[in-house]
């Protein structure tokens, strides 16, 4: 029945502020994706791993997910994991790696139709991985045969080497290209010589050995910039193992496209001047573009066009919302002295010479370094180079200055 009533469908807000949320338009990442494809194609003869770093909200997790998709399309089995503090314990770390190998083998068994040889390779892998998890979990003694018990426990590195080799054999026997391990928030794990917990060292040594022997494995580690230092401390050869992808703000004109293309797709009209003002305020940082875009979309009712004057009108409220959503909670986790250090950096901009920080705090070099270390652990600062300290959260300095002088807007 035709009621004569025309229903206009109202498009949904296209922007996706959040963590690891696929944006409506992935801006300025073609180069990284093209390079990643090449690295994959070079394996196993030319092994390359990827170290993906950048400030908070710059789009690391989103790109990591794209890497995973690219690898899967090319027949690789991808295992993804977000690292957390408990993995600083070597044994917990080893267990996690074995669990990842197991996941790769199980995924292969589930998703591919296996011929007999492949099925038995997967079964062998699962058997070995099962017994390795048991032994790593520390209940080996109860399960091993008496003759086995007298043998010394193989070093962790050897056990992990066997774990990955068996999983990769299972995957390749089933026709897969190999395994890609994608680790997010990898800056959280670091070695501690004091407590002899060396998970990163172990991982790097195992990976290097596997790749020397032609095992098709790729390691992708992703996190805040402190990751680079953690890896370098773990193994001095880490620089040579990784291709560094340092994500930064979106370059022009992609910073503008990240805002305008989703609007165009949704059919919402807007002033070109508005897009420029947005790109300037967000400084091209992806999270800020999504955040402002989403708020702006809702600042006036569909289908009214978005104008520059709307933007200027909404801007103070949008900045206040950004402070609440992104910055306040991070500042709330700091002590008074840590805040003094942050304020000192902010008084210089987004980075500061270490000397100036030490001078302003009137603390010893050692005490300042320890403070920086604590703040780095909280994901707030890092050392981009010797003698310099910087915010790991984009525009954190601007936020602190805005808090101190709200009248300047």
Ligand X SMILES: Nc1ncnc2c1ncn2[C@@H]1O[C@H](COP(=O)(O)OP(=O)(O)OP(=O)(O)O)[C@@H](O)[C@H]1O
Nearer to Mg ion, 60 or 88 (CB): 60
Binding part of the chain for ligand X, among 4-12, 49-57, 105-113, 188-196 by CB under 6 A, reads 49-57
CB 52 within 8 A of CB 60: yes
* DSSP-assigned beta bridge partners for residue 243: 50
Which residue has 């922007």 as its token pair? 15
Distance (Å, rounded) from C-alpha 224 to C-alpha 68? 19
Q: What tokens appear for 166 in the block?
A: 């068996």
* DSSP-assigned beta bridge partners for residue 81: 183
Nearer to ligand X, 96 or 258 (CB): 258
Partner that binds at residue 17, options Mg ion, ligand X, none, CB closer than 5 to 8 Å by kind: ligand X
> How does DSSP classify residue 155?
P
Binding part of the chain for Mg ion, among 54-62, 151-159, 317-325, 351-359 by CB under 5 A, reads 54-62
Which residue has 């997790």 as its token pair? 61
Minimal distance in Å, beta carbon 227 to ligand X?
11
- Helix, strand, coil shares of the chain, percent, nearest 5, are 60, 10, 30
Nearer to ligand X, 202 or 282 (CB): 282
Could you say whether residue 57 binds ligand X (CB under 6 A)? yes
Q: What tokens appear for 164 in the block?
A: 């990955």
Binding part of the chain for ligand X, among 36-44, 160-168, 194-202, 286-294 by CB under 6 A, reads 286-294
Total interface residues for ligand X by CB under 6 A: 23
Minimal distance in Å, beta carbon 377 to ligand X?
15
Count CB neighbours of 111 within 10 A.
12
Residue in 32, 49, 53, 61 binding Mg ion, rule: CB under 5 A: 61
Minimal distance in Å, beta carbon 223 to Mg ion?
8
Could you say whether residue 27 binds ligand X (CB under 6 A)? yes
Could you say whether residue 58 binds ligand X (CB under 6 A)? yes
Partner that binds at residue 394, options ligand X, Mg ion, none, CB closer than 5 to 8 Å by kind: none
Q: In terms of Cα–Cα distance, which of 202, 122, 208, 134 is closest to 168?
A: 122
E strand or H helix that includes residue 324 = none
Nearer to ligand X, 136 or 380 (CB): 380
For the chain, the distance separating the N- and C-terminal CA atoms, rounded to the nearest angstrom, is 56
Nearer to ligand X, 290 or 299 (CB): 290
Partner that binds at residue 139, options ligand X, Mg ion, none, CB closer than 5 to 8 Å by kind: none
Number of residue whose CB is nearest ligand X: 59
x-marked contacts with ligand X along 242-271 as a string, rule CB under 6 A: ----------------x-------------
CB 345 within 8 A of CB 390: yes
Q: In terms of Cα–Cα distance, which of 321, 322, 314, 316 is closest to 296?
A: 314
Distance (Å, rounded) from C-alpha 196 to C-alpha 193? 5
Could you say whether residue 16 binds ligand X (CB under 6 A)? yes
Nearer to ligand X, 19 or 404 (CB): 19
Distance (Å, rounded) from C-alpha 58 to C-alpha 224? 10
Could you say whether residue 314 binds ligand X (CB under 6 A)? no
Nearer to ligand X, 242 or 326 (CB): 326
Q: In terms of Cα–Cα distance, which of 320, 285, 291 is closest to 394?
A: 285
Residues that bind Mg ion (CB under 5 A): 60-61
Residues that bind ligand X (CB under 6 A): 16-21, 23, 26-29, 54, 56-62, 258, 286-287, 290
């Amino acid at each position: 029945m035709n009621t004569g009533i025309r229903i206009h469908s109202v498009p949904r807000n296209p922007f996706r502020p959040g963590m690891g949320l696929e944006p409506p338009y992935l801006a300025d990442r073609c180069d990284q994706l093209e390079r990643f494809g090449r690295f994959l194609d070079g394996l196993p003869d030319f092994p390359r791993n990827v170290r993906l770093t950048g400030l908070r909200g710059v789009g690391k997790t989103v790109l990591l997910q794209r890497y995973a998709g690219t690898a899967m399309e090319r027949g690789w089995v991808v295992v993804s994991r977000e690292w957390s503090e408990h993995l600083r314990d070597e044994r917990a770390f080893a267990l996690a790696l074995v669990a990842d190998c197991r996941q790769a083998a199980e995924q292969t068994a589930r998703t591919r139709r296996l011929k007999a040889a492949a099925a038995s390779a997967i079964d062998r892998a699962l058997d070995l991985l099962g017994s390795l998890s048991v032994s790593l979990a520390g209940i080996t003694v109860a399960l091993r045969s008496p003759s086995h018990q007298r043998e010394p426990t193989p070093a962790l590195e050897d056990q992990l080497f066997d774990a990955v080799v068996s999983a990769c054999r299972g995957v390749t026997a089933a026709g897969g290209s190999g395994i890609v391990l994608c680790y997010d928030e990898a800056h959280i794990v670091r070695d501690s010589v004091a407590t002899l917990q060396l998970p990163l060292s172990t991982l790097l040594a195992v990976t290097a050995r596997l790749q020397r022997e032609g095992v098709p494995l790729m390691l992708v580690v992703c996190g805040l910039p402190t990751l680079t230092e953690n890896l370098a401390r773990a193994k001095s050869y880490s620089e040579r193992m990784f291709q560094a992808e340092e994500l930064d703000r979106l370059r022009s004109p992609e910073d503008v496209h990240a805002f305008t293309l989703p609007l165009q797709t949704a059919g919402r009209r807007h002033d070109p001047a508005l897009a420029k003002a947005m790109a300037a305020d967000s400084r091209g940082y992806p999270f800020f573009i999504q955040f402002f875009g989403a708020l702006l979309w809702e600042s006036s009712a569909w289908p009214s066009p978005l104008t520059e004057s709307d933007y200027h009108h909404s801007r103070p409220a949008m900045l206040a919302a950004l402070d609440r959503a992104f910055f306040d909670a991070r500042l709330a986790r700091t002590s008074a002295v840590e805040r003094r250090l942050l304020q000192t950096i902010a008084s210089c901009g987004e980075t500061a010479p270490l000397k100036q920080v030490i001078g302003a705090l009137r603390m010893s070099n050692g005490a300042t370094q320890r403070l920086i270390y604590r703040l780095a652990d909280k994901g707030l600062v890092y050392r981009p180079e010797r003698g310099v300290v910087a915010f790991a959260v984009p525009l954190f300095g601007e936020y602190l200055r805005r808090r101190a002088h709200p009248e300047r807007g």
